[in-house]
Every structure is written in C-alpha cells, then in structure tokens.
Amino acid sequence: MPNWTIAIPETPSPNYVLVKNISLQSNENTVKEFFLFCGKIKEFELTKDDDNEHQVALISFERESAAKTATLLSNALIDDCHITAAPYFSSATPVGEGEEAGHTSEKEAEETSQEAKPKSRIAAEILANGYMLQDQIVAKGLEYDGKYGLSNRITGYLGMLQTNVRSIDDKYRIWDKAVELDQKYKIQEKVTNAAQTALQSQPGQKARGIAEQTFAQIAAVHMEATKIKGEKVAA
C-alpha cells in the first residue's frame, strides 16, 4: 500500500474511500472530476500501485453520504479501466438510515448539495457527462434509493415506461447490447444479484412484473441522462 501524504485518522472514518485499478493514462483531474459527482472532496491523492501497473487513489469526502455514493460506483469505466471503490476503513460505521433517509425532496436536494441527491440522479448526471456506467451500477443506485425513498423524480418516469417497455427498448436500445427478443423479460447478469434472485424465485406474472419494473427503472435513468445532456447543450 502506498505511503499516503494525506493524514489518515486513527479512528476509522466512513468518509475515506480507496479506489483501485485506475488506468495509468488517467490523470488526477480526470479521476477527481469523476468522483466530484458524489460530493465535495476534502483531500485527494493519486499514485501508482505497488505493481506499477495501475494507479490507486485515496479520497477523503466532506460527507459520509458522498463516500457511500462513491462505493456504489465500483466497476465504472474511467478511460480504459474498470475501477474498484471501497471504504478505506473496513471497520468504519456505515451510513445510518437517519442520515440518508431524510425527507428532503429532490428539488430541495439539487438546491442544497450534490451529496443530498438520490444515487440514481447522480448516475444520470455521470452518464450525461459521457462516462460509461454498466446497468448493474445504475441498478445498485436505484436499489439504494428505493430503500430510503429518495428517487422521486427518476421514478416519475416509470408509469410512462412500463406502459410500453418493449417498444421503448426497440426504439432506444437502452440496455447495453440489447436483450434478445425471446429473453426480453428476463433479468440478465448485468442487473443486480438481488433482482436476479427475486426474478428466479417468483414464478409467472409476478416475475415478469419484477423484470419489467427493473428494466423501466434503468431506462428511466438513461432517459434522465439524455434530458440532462440536452439541458447542458441548450444552456
């Protein structure tokens, strides 16, 4: 492990995130700008790993919720490498429901801080800025938002999407390498294990409903990303 110049506290803190498998081609600004989508960064350090084949970064976020978002982005693509992101301290106390599950509306969240936004909104912003996120990463954010009831604006798209999931997919090819027609309503490996388990354990129409809902949620995030990108161009 590198000898960090960042002062690491003796008491484990959940605000510290360790990012590995960073491309040697990635510079400090590229990596830092990516993680600024999660929230304010207090300290950031990027250096080569022990094998000199990749880089590793240590990030100290201002808020615990930003660090949590960063760990959800593990396996995102930066330049030519899929990064891994995990808490620096394995023994740090995780974010509690009281901190993440406040009753802040998404409009209020956008006006206050990046950290307060739903994870799915942050994923949409990252996608809108040209980064590649696999659908299981988007699904992890949606699952987290669902747990804490934070994804109001994103889930507003679901009614429209679920009325005609098949035609929307045929038109926009939302999923990476669109699902084969005879597998249209099956959850594939790119979706979270939790969704897969639910689909496999419940038969018939209920399973199909879960598949449609999961697909529609992922599609909603991609549509939100397209909307954000359009707003940036128009600005």
pLDDT tens digits, 176-206: 333 443 344 343 343 444 344 444 544 444 5
Q: In sequence order, which residues have a C-beta less than 8 Å from that of residue 206 and are 6 or more positions away? A: none
In 3D, which of 45, 36, 72, 41 has the Cα closest to residue 147? 72
Radius of gyration of the chain (CA): 18
Mean pLDDT score, 7-21: 94
116 pLDDT band (50/70/90 cuts)?
confident
Q: Report DSSP state, residue 132.
A: B
Q: Does CATH place domain 1-95 in 3.40.1190.20? A: no
CA distances, 20 to each of 17, 29, 34, 230 (Å): 10, 16, 14, 32
If one counts every other C-beta atom within 10 angstroms of the C-beta of residue 162, the result is 17
pTM across the whole model: 0.73
- Burial class (CB within 10 angstroms; exposed 0-12, middle 13-18, buried 19+) of 146: middle
Domain ranges of the chain: 1-95, 104-235
Give the least confident one: 10-19, 119-128, 206-215, 221-230.
Answer: 206-215
- Lookup: tokens for 125: 């912003």
